[in-house]
Amino acid sequence: MLVKVKSNSYISESDVTDYHIYKKRREFIKKAGGVAAAFSLGVPALSSAGVAIKDYKKDIDNPLADELTEEIKVTSYNNFYELGTGKGDPKSNAHLLQTDPWAITVEGECANPGVLGLEDFVSPHQLEERIYRLRCVEAWSMIIPWLGVELGPVLKRFEPTSTAKYVEFTTILDPDNLPGQRRAVLNWPYREGLRIDEAMNPLTLLAVGLYGKELPNQNGAPLRLVVPWKYGFKSIKSIVKIRFTENQPNTSWNTSSAKEYRFYSNVNPEVDHPRWSQARERKIGELRKRKTLMFNGYADEVASLYDGMDLMKYF
C-alpha cells in the first residue's frame, strides 16, 4: 500500500516507485545488481523516472524550486559524528559501520513493544519516493530524493498509549568500530526526539534509500529519520531504538549545548544561532546565498502544530 498525501512538497503520483516485487532490502539490491538492473525487474529508479519538483516556479528566493543536489555531494559531504566530525569523514569511514544484521527495539509507552528486524520493521509495500529539502544549522542545504515510509503509520503499529507524548530515537553504539564514538564529542549513543504529533505528521519519513538506491552508510544506513521542516540534527541516522515517552526526552545536541540547540529545532530564520545568522543559507554546490524560509518552506503543512507557541523561545 502506498500512503499518498496531496501536498506541494511531494512528487507526483506517477513518480512513486512501484515496489511490489521488493521482498527484502538486501535481496533486492543483490538481485537488481544496482539501479540499472532494477529496470529489468520493473522497478523504476528515481534518477530515471523524470522526477523533478514540478509545482514550483524557479525562484532564487524559493529553495524548494531547485534542481536536485548532485548525488556525489549528498554522499560525500555529511554530518555523521559517529564516523568523524569532518564533512568527509563519514564517507571515508563508512566501511566501519556494520549494518547486517540489524534490529530495531521499540519500547516505552506502547501496547506492542518488541524487537524487529529491518525487513519486518519497514514494509516494502509502503515504500515511496519523496523529494525533501534538508537544512543544516550551519546554514547549508541540500535537496534530496529519499526512498522511505511515513513514520506515523509505522508508529501506530505499536499502539502508543494515551500517555505517549514524545518519541525518542537512539542510534547505534559501537565504539570498537566507529571512530567518532571513541571521542567525547557528544554523550553517546546519539539520541534525538520529536513530539508525537510531529512524528505522526505525514511529512515525517523513515528513509532507507536515496536516489533510487540503498541508503549509503555515510548517510545513515540502514534506517534514518527525515523531518524536512527541522534543522539537520533532527535527522538521526542508523536507528536502533524507538521509545515512546510521557516526558520530553533529552536529545544529544540539547544536552551538549542547551543555549544553542533547543528541543524543537524548527527552521526559523528569525532565531539566530549564537555564532551565526540563520536568515540566509547556501545550497551545496552554489556560491550565492538565498533567504531562509520559515519551517524550511513547509509552513503550509506544519505551522498549525505550533499554534500559540512562542517560536522565539521554543526553538
- Beta strand spans in the chain (E): 103-108, 114-117, 128-135, 140-150, 166-171, 191-195, 205-210, 213-214, 224-226, 239-245, 280-283, 289-291
Residue burial 6-27, b: 16+ Cβ < 10 Å; e: rest = eeebbbeeebbbebeebeebbe
Strand-pairing partners, residue 70, are none
DSSP 167-204: EEEEE---TTT-GGGGSTTSSSSPEEEEEHHHHHSTT-
Residue burial 119-154, b: 16+ Cβ < 10 Å; e: rest = eebbebebbbbbbbbbbbbbbbbbbbbbbbbbbbeb
Distant-in-sequence, close-in-space partners of 40: CB < 8 Å, separation ≥ 6? none
pLDDT of residue 21: 24
**Model pLDDT for residues 197-212, shown as the tens digit of each residue:** 999 999 999 999 999 8
d(CA 182, CA 33): 35
DSSP 3-state assignment of 159? coil
DSSP 3-state assignment of 51? coil
Instruction: Residue count of the chain, please give it.
Output: 315
Residues of the chain where predicted confidence (pLDDT) is lower than 50: 1-60
* Contact yes or no for 146/210 (Cβ under 8 A): yes
Distant-in-sequence, close-in-space partners of 138: CB < 8 Å, separation ≥ 6? 276
Burial (CB < 10 A; 0-12, 13-18, 19+), residue 36, is exposed
Rg for the chain (alpha carbons), in Å? Answer: 19
Question: pTM higher than 0.85, yes or no?
Answer: no
Strand-pairing partners, residue 90, are none
Q: Where are the domains of the chain?
A: 13-306
Residue burial 180-189, b: 16+ Cβ < 10 Å; e: rest = bbeeeebebb
pLDDT of residue 20: 29
pLDDT of residue 150: 93
**Model pLDDT for residues 187-240, shown as the tens digit of each residue:** 999 999 999 999 999 999 999 999 989 999 999 999 999 999 999 989 999 999
pLDDT of residue 67: 84
d(CA 120, CA 117): 5
Domain 13-306 falls in which CATH fold?
Sulfite Oxidase; Chain A, domain 2 (3.90.420)
Which residue in 118, 125, 121, 99 sits closest to 43, CA to CA? 125
d(CA 105, CA 120): 12
Which residue in 91, 114, 90, 112 sits closest to 104, CA to CA? 114
d(CA 236, CA 43): 28
pLDDT of residue 61: 55
